[in-house]
Amino acid sequence: MSDTTPRSQTQTDRRTMIAEAALRVLGREGHTGLTARKVAAEAGMALGHISYHFNGMDEVLAEAYRLLSARLRTASDDSDATTPLARLQAFLNAGFTEAFLTPAHIRTRIDLWSAAAAHPAVAETELALYSHYRSQLETLLAPLVPANRIPALTDTIMATLDGLWLDWMRRRDRQAVENGLKTLIELTNGGVFAAGSQK
C-alpha cells in the first residue's frame, strides 16, 4: 500500500478485511469455530492485527454483522422500480436472490442472530440494523396502506422474512420462498391491511 494512503483509510480497509475474513470463517465453521487465530489466518494477517483493530472478538462479530447487512441493504436499494408496489416487491425479493441463499450465507446470518443473544456488542449492532431495515420497510409501505396499519403489517413482514430464511435453510424449497413473498405483496395490496379494508 502506498505511503500516501491516509492512516485512517488503512485502518478502515483492514477492519473490513478482518470482518470479511470472519464472515468466511463463520460460513465454513459456524460461530463455535470462530477464533481470532482463524480469522487472522483467513485474512492473511498476523494475529496482532485483530487486537490492534478491534477490542475483542465481539467487536469483530459486530463489524461482520454490519458488513453482511450492508450487502443486503445495497441489494435492496438497487432497483429501478417506479411504482410503490414494485419498489416494495424489489425490496423484499432482494434478500432472496441466489447470493443471499447460499448455505454459507444463511448459516452466517443465523449464527449472528444467535451471537446477538449472548454478546452485547453484537446485540446492539443487530438492533440498530434491524431498526434501519424496518424503517426502510415502513417508508415503502407508507404510500400503500393507511398509516395506522403500517406497524402491524411491518411486524408481519419482518417475521415472515425471518421465517422464510429459516425455512430455506431447512428445506431449500424455492417455491415456498416465492409463495411467501407473493403472499406478503398480496397482503399489502389487497389484504386486511390495504386501504379501504374494514378489518
Q: Which CATH number fits the domain that encloses residue 44?
A: 1.10.357.10
How high is the pLDDT of residue 8? 52
In a domain, 61, yes or no: yes
Cα torsion through 10, 11, 13, 15, rounded to 10: 160
Q: What are 176's three cell numbers?
A: 415456498
In a domain, 2, yes or no: no
| Mean pLDDT (whole number) for 138-155 | 95
Q: How many domains does the chain have?
A: 1
pLDDT tens digits for range 8-58: 557 778 999 999 999 999 989 988 889 999 999 999 999 999 999 999 999
| Mean pLDDT (whole number) for 160-182 | 95
Q: Which residue has the cell 469455530?
A: 33
Write the burial class of residue 45 (CB in 10 Å: 0-12 exposed, 13-18 middle, 19+ buried).
Answer: middle
| b/e 141-171 (16+ beta carbons within 10 angstroms → b) | beebbeeebbeebbebbeebbeebbeebeee
In a domain, 21, yes or no: yes
In a domain, 198, yes or no: no
Percentage of the chain exceeding pLDDT 90: 58
81 or 95, which is more confident: 95
Q: Which of 119, 113, 90, 115 has its CA nearest to residue 163?
A: 113
pLDDT tens digits for range 93-129: 999 999 899 988 888 888 888 888 888 988 999 899 8
| Mean pLDDT (whole number) for 166-192 | 92
The yes-or-no verdict on residue 174 having pLDDT over 70 is yes
How high is the pLDDT of residue 5? 42
How high is the pLDDT of residue 199? 41
Q: Which residues constitute the domain of residue 137?
A: 7-190
Helix then strand then coil, % of the chain, to nearest 5: 80, 0, 20
